[in-house]
Amino acid sequence: MAIWLSRLAIDRWRLAETCAPGEGADAEPLALTAETAHGPRIEAANDAGLAAGARPGMRLADARALCPRLKTAPGDPAGDRAFLEALALWAQRWGPWSALDEPDGLLVDVSAVAHLFGGEARLLADAQATFARRGLTARLAIAPTAGAAWALAHFGPERAILAPDDDAAEHLASLPVAALRLGDAVLTVLRRLGLKRIGQLGEIGRDALRRRFRNRSSEVNPLLRLDQLLGRVAEPLLPVVAVPDPLVQRRLMEPIRYRQLLDRVLADLAADMARTLEDRALGARRLELGLWRVDGEVIVRRLEFAAATRDPAHIARLFADKLDDIDAGFGIELLRLRALWTEPLALVQGDIEAPPAQGTSLAECVDRLTVRLGEKAVRRPVLHASHLPERAQRWQPPLAPEPASQGQLAFHQRPLKLLDRPELIAVLYATPDGFPQRFRWRGQVHDIVRVEGPERIAPEWWREKSTVRLRDYYRIEDREGRRYWIYRHGLAGDGRGGAPEWFLQGLCA
Amino acid sequence: MDLSAFLKAGELAPMTQAPHWRPGVGGARHSEVFAGGREAAGAAAALALALDEAGERLGERSVLWVQDAAALKLGGRPYRPGLPEPLRDRLIHVVAKTPEDFLFALEEGLRCRDFAFVIGELAVNPRALDLTASRRLGLVTEKHGVPLMLVRLDARRDLSSARMRWQVRSAASPMPRWNAFAPGPPAWHAELFRARAHAPGEWILRDDGPVLAADRLASPPPDHGDLAVAAGDRSLAAG
């Protein structure tokens, strides 16, 4: 069974606005737009919009010229896609498995199922009524092959049924070639060749078509599509399968009010979860613990791991740190632990000869630090492609893979430590463009005895305003041997502000 | 009785004195480095000493660098392009808001077998780091074998159970190869003022390529400990 949700985007928008078709906000002409390089373009329009002249694929400016009252809302292709996925699972009420037919269709396998609904016609009527109840416009068709069902749903009569013993070629001959699910470029070629109906393709012979269309990809090969339509070639479909999150829960006979008991139940839950995950060879990356209180309040605590794990002791310990501020009220009667994000984690064989590992692993250590200090506190520096020193380094979670970066040129030495914000210093110099001789920082004067520089770093003009000043960096050593990295912000007379200021940015080793 | 077989007092003295520290000796798991907050010498020397001690242990392991908020404000964050070459891709940095969090992070780091060493950077003398806390850190390092380098910025020399305690400041750098006016490769003046296995002394530490080089300065006057200071000019026996 093929289901074509011909107005999916508009229907979703209308359901979000909670108005019936043609009423409320839907009574005004409206278009859903997407941003493109040439300005907003219309993705879909409601009935009033279509009547006013807006067409999908049109520029918004052109549509506004036709109908100045046209209202717009941003389209949501990602949301449509997610909705379609949920719908594909929901559509399994009519058949054992279903597949997505992007962007706005579904395919449901109803082989040997129709009798449960009282025949194919009643199955289609049931589906149509159910979609209508959900407020979705749907066109449906049943055929022996996915291609034929798709063609009938899009271009055939309402609720078309092609029985297995009908002659498919004869029934489908009058449909346009667009029913073959071909790309726009191929359709143009076929139109220019004068081939408008599927029946005409059969008349000119297979050899001629094979010579003309050599591409093996089915989307641009009418012959292959025709064979799929008629069932001469197999067409694999990718089914949508619901994978439930691993979930364990404990209902308690007696509500618990004390921390000691809670820890005990939590340890049991963690052990249950470890077993569940082990069955599927998974490790948890994110866990959610829900605590249902007697008075109906729900307390939720989340935990994220640096690496996939299913060690119950580790899980229980990390949750214990997060349960300190829980108000149990009259008691907690239900605990539920759910793994929201899992990753494959195979079972491993322990080494019988190796001594038992001392201490914790890196991932466990990072988890413990993160839980107590927060995610922002535990990080690793990584390189970033930028000239500016403070931008050349970024921070990311410690176990995340390092982004690819170019090798560093070793011409210049960099300081060991960088101040979060460069500090203003007062500098004495012989000439404005010359070497600094003495500077005052945090209330103390440093005599400069050795200098290297300047290393000029220009602002990143593609990112910043044109008035940002360049920086001349100097690596200096003072009389006591202390080494710093300072810079002059701008040049005298560069027309971007007054006399240049000096800053201390880094402390060298 | 023939007394000539026994050692003379003068010969005995050098034997009772502990050997001087030199790079590569290692052995101390728990060290403290006192340094000023106006320079990066403390952290740099601590990294150099820790790398020197880690040697083989480094392998594929990561390195943990913990800073408390005050130390971060005083001396800034580690900057990857300026770190010693072997550490650049293995540093994990932790910012602790309070000294208590700082001690927690150090302890968790020391328990982890995947760290080559742990560097802690702490400003002044917080109340949380007393002798008990210090002893606790020392026990964890001994148990799990992960060395700890604690950098104390602008701190008094308070009670501590560290096996080696250094006072470090920047020293004039040696002449670089090409530009005589430029600062050279870093050098630090390091004074070992308390050590269990070594005699106190002063060194100029330098990064000599991949290894740490140390030139010992003329030995300082013998250290009688804080007792002598408290006694002033009086003889100790006079009480």
In this prediction, residue A173 carries a pLDDT of 83
Q: Which residue of chain A has the CA closest to B66?
A: A378
Q: What is the ipTM of this complex?
A: 0.84
Residue A37 CB contacts under 8 Å (≥ 6 apart), including other chains: none
List chain A domain ranges.
2-155, 167-230, 247-344, 417-507
Is B32 a domain residue? yes
Is B4 a domain residue? no
Tell which A residues from 68 to 107 touch B, by Cβ distance under 8 Å: none
**First vs last Cα of chain B: how many Å apart?**
39
- Rounded to 5 degrees, φ, ψ at B46 are -65, -40
The domain A2-155: what is its CATH number? 3.40.1170.60
- The residues that bridge with A287 in the sheet, in sequence order, are A303, A339
CATH at B209: 3.40.50.300
On whether any CB of chain A is under 8 Å from the CB of B62, the answer is yes
**Half-sphere CA count of A230, side-chain side, radius 13 A:** 17
Q: How far is CA A305 from CA A65, A282, A318, B96, in A?
A: 55, 13, 10, 20
In this prediction, residue B93 carries a pLDDT of 95
Please state the three-class secondary structure of A300-333 as a single string. Answer: EEEEEEEEEECCHHHHHHHHHHHCCCCCCCCCEE
Distance from CA of B59 to the nearest CA of A (A): 14
In this prediction, residue A464 carries a pLDDT of 87
- List of chain B residues whose C-beta atoms are within 8 Å of the C-beta of residue A365: 108-109, 111-112, 114-115
Q: Do B181 and A480 touch (CB under 8 A)?
A: no
Report yes or no: A422 and A416 within 8 Å, Cβ to Cβ: no
Residue B227 CB contacts under 8 Å (≥ 6 apart), including other chains: B236
Q: Which tokens is A257 given?
A: 């009010």
C-alpha B236/C-alpha B239 separation (Å) is 6
Q: Which tokens is A389 given?
A: 């020193």
- N residues, chain B: 239
Single-letter amino acid, residue A251: R
Burial of A505 (0-12, 13-18, 19+ CB in 10 A): buried
Q: Do B93 and A381 touch (CB under 8 A)?
A: yes
Domain residues for the domain of B49 are 26-238
- Kind and range of the H or E element at A371? helix A362-373
In this prediction, residue A202 carries a pLDDT of 79
On whether any CB of chain A is under 8 Å from the CB of B92, the answer is yes
Residue B17 banded pLDDT, cuts 50, 70, 90: low
- List of chain A residues whose C-beta atoms are within 8 Å of the C-beta of residue B71: none
Lowest mean pLDDT among A144-158, B33-47, B68-82: A144-158
Q: Do A359 and B112 touch (CB under 8 A)?
A: yes
Q: In terms of Cα–Cα distance, which of A289, A290, A292 is closest to A256?
A: A292
Q: In terms of Cα–Cα distance, which of A328, A336, A327 is closest to A255?
A: A328
Region of B168 (left: φ > 0; alpha: ψ -120 to 50; beta: rest) is: beta
Tell which B residues from 128 to 187 touch A, by Cβ distance under 8 Å: 144-146, 169-173, 179, 181-183, 186-187
Supply angle C-alpha A98, A2, A223, rounded to 5: 105
Is B231 a domain residue? yes
One pLDDT digit (tens) per residue for chain A, 509 residues: 889 888 888 888 888 888 777 777 777 888 888 888 888 888 888 888 888 888 888 888 888 888 888 888 888 888 889 999 888 999 888 888 899 888 888 999 888 888 898 888 898 899 999 988 888 888 899 988 888 899 888 888 888 888 888 887 788 888 888 888 888 888 898 889 888 888 888 788 888 888 888 877 777 888 888 888 888 888 888 888 888 889 999 999 999 988 999 999 999 999 999 999 999 999 999 999 999 999 989 999 999 998 899 899 999 999 988 888 888 888 999 999 999 999 999 888 877 777 777 788 899 999 999 999 988 999 999 998 888 999 999 999 998 888 888 776 777 889 999 999 999 999 998 887 788 999 999 999 999 999 998 899 999 989 888 889 999 999 999 999 999 999 999 888 888 888 889 999 999 98
Domain count, chain B: 1
Q: Which residue of chain B has the CA closest to A415?
A: B82
Strand A39-45 and strand A98-101: the pairing is unpaired
The SS3 assignment for A473 reads: strand
Report yes or no: A289 and A336 within 8 Å, Cβ to Cβ: yes
- List of chain B residues whose C-beta atoms are within 8 Å of the C-beta of residue A408: 81
Q: Do B113 and A414 touch (CB under 8 A)?
A: no
Question: Which residue reads 């449909």 in tokens?
Answer: A175
Report yes or no: B50 and B183 within 8 Å, Cβ to Cβ: no
Distance from CA of B102 to the nearest CA of A (A): 9
Whether the pLDDT of residue B221 is over 80: the answer is: no
Q: Which residue of chain B has the CA closest to A421?
A: B76
Report yes or no: A41 and A34 within 8 Å, Cβ to Cβ: yes
Model pLDDT for residues A125-178, shown as the tens digit of each residue = 999 999 888 888 888 999 888 888 998 888 888 888 888 888 877 888 888 888
C-alpha A503/C-alpha A486 separation (Å) is 6
Question: Which residue reads 């038992």 in tokens?
Answer: A356
Largest CA distance in chain B: 70
Average pLDDT in the B139-163 region? 92
Average pLDDT in the B49-67 region? 89
Q: Supply the pTM of this predicted model.
A: 0.73
Question: Which residue reads 């059969």 in tokens?
Answer: A202
Distance from CA of A353 to the nearest CA of B (A): 18
Supply angle C-alpha A430, A431, A437, rounded to 5: 35
Is B113 a domain residue? yes
Q: In terms of Cα–Cα distance, which of B89, B126, B121, B84 is closest to B105?
A: B121
C-alpha B136/C-alpha A168 separation (Å) is 83
Same fold, A2-155 and A247-344: no
Report yes or no: B96 and B66 within 8 Å, Cβ to Cβ: yes
C-alpha B153/C-alpha B124 separation (Å) is 6
- Kind and range of the H or E element at B140? helix B131-144
Report yes or no: A91 and A106 within 8 Å, Cβ to Cβ: yes
C-alpha A83/C-alpha A95 separation (Å) is 19
Q: Best of A314, A365, A414 to disrupt the B interface by mutation (most B CBs within 10 Å)?
A: A365
Q: In terms of Cα–Cα distance, which of A284, A279, A318, A313 is closest to A301?
A: A318
- Kind and range of the H or E element at A13? helix A8-17
- List of chain B residues whose C-beta atoms are within 8 Å of the C-beta of residue A392: 81
Q: Do B108 and A482 touch (CB under 8 A)?
A: no
Q: Best of A483, A484, A504 to disrupt the B interface by mutation (most B CBs within 10 Å)?
A: A483
DSSP designation for A95: S
**Residue A258's CB: how many other CB atoms inside 10 A?**
10
Q: Which tokens is A58 given?
A: 């049109």
On whether any CB of chain B is under 8 Å from the CB of A384, the answer is no
CATH architecture of the region A247-344? 2-Layer Sandwich (3.30)
C-alpha A112/C-alpha A94 separation (Å) is 11
In this prediction, residue B226 carries a pLDDT of 52
Q: How far is CA B131 from CA A155, B70, B154, B155, in A?
A: 84, 21, 18, 15
C-alpha A338/C-alpha A346 separation (Å) is 20
Lowest mean pLDDT among A311-315, B24-28, B60-64: B24-28
DSSP designation for B60: T
- List of chain A residues whose C-beta atoms are within 8 Å of the C-beta of residue B182: 450-452, 475
Residue A444's Cα: distance from chain center in Å? 52
Is B10 a domain residue? no
Whether the pLDDT of residue B231 is over 50: the answer is: no
Residue B68 banded pLDDT, cuts 50, 70, 90: very high
